Amino acid sequence: MAITTHSLGTTDYERAGPMGQRTLVLFHTLLADRSVYDGIFSDLAERRDVIRFHFPGFGASVGTCQSIDDYVLWTISFLKALGIAQPVEVFSNGFGGFVSVGLTRQAPDLVARLTIANSGAAFPEERKPPLLKMAEIVETKGIDDVLDIAISRMFPEAFARANPGIVQERRSALSQTNPQQFAAACRALARLDYRAAAREIIRPVRIVAGLDDLTTPPSMSQELHQLIAGSSYVEMPACGHCPQIQQPERVLELLR
């Protein structure tokens, strides 16, 4: 674990692998911390300079973030503080995907290529109430009261039943999240509309959709694909919100 302090806060991150190649940065979903990449991080680090980090509210990361734009600026500040010599490649998942859209639009000089798994540019109106409800529950009852909801949104039911150890790991990790920051992130997602920003992205983008994702369904990834000119689109059958957990080999293939 490493800690870096920058102009907009503190970032708790891990970096491994050989220097000299293009750096790969992993953005996590709101339903998990950076440990969501445990299953592929070591494999990636055998060949790549790879970084995974916690957004504010996770681990020891700190920042004043009330909107996705705030998270974008915080992430830009972090990446610039690292002093990486060339633009990075990004793999983002869920919440991290929304942040990476804003990052690639606002600071294209920092990003060489972007892969977005199970995300979008904006939540449809009918999908905003669950986000706001989670925020309310977390603020009034605590993070533990949304763990069951979070797991049901991370994994298809059959996968969760067949992998109780993974489910317990995810519950334990999410239970450590700062509830106020988690609630703020839920509300930020409900307010977000990056459709105009997505149209202005000029970097190569690959969009991945898990076809069994109940949190950010394939229709959101498909809309993002239509918005970003020249983007490619990949579907993963029998996969929920976190392909790096359910289909790690496929993710590793995409990032080689």
252 or 19, greater pLDDT: 252
| 120 in Cβ contact with 221 (< 8 Å) | yes
pLDDT at 20 over 90: no
For range 25-42, the mean pLDDT: 97
Q: Is the pLDDT of residue 131 over 90?
A: yes
pLDDT tens readout for residues 233-250: 999 999 999 999 999 999
Count of other CB atoms within 10 angstroms of residue 117? 29
Question: Across-strand partners of 94?
Answer: none
How far is 155 from 223, CA to CA, in rounded Å? Answer: 22
Q: Please give the average per-residue pLDDT across 192-211, as a whole number.
A: 97
237: how many CB neighbours lie within 10 A of its CB? 9
Sign of the four-CA dihedral 86, 91, 92, 97: positive
pLDDT-derived band at 137, boundaries 50, 70, 90: very high
Mean pLDDT of the 31-48 span:
96
Strand partners, 27: 92
pLDDT > 90? residue 173: yes
Query: Mean pLDDT across the stretch 130-153?
Result: 95
* CATH of region 2-120+194-255, choose from 3.40.50.1820, 3.30.300.30, 1.25.50.10, 3.40.50.720: 3.40.50.1820
Q: Is the pLDDT of residue 256 over 90?
A: no
At residue 197, the 3 state secondary structure works out as: helix
What's this model's pTM, rounded to 2 decimal places? 0.97
- pLDDT for 59-97, tens place per residue? 999 999 999 999 999 999 999 999 998 999 999 999 999
pLDDT score of 183 more than 90: yes
Instruction: Give the pair of three-digit tokens for residue 153.
Output: 């949104």
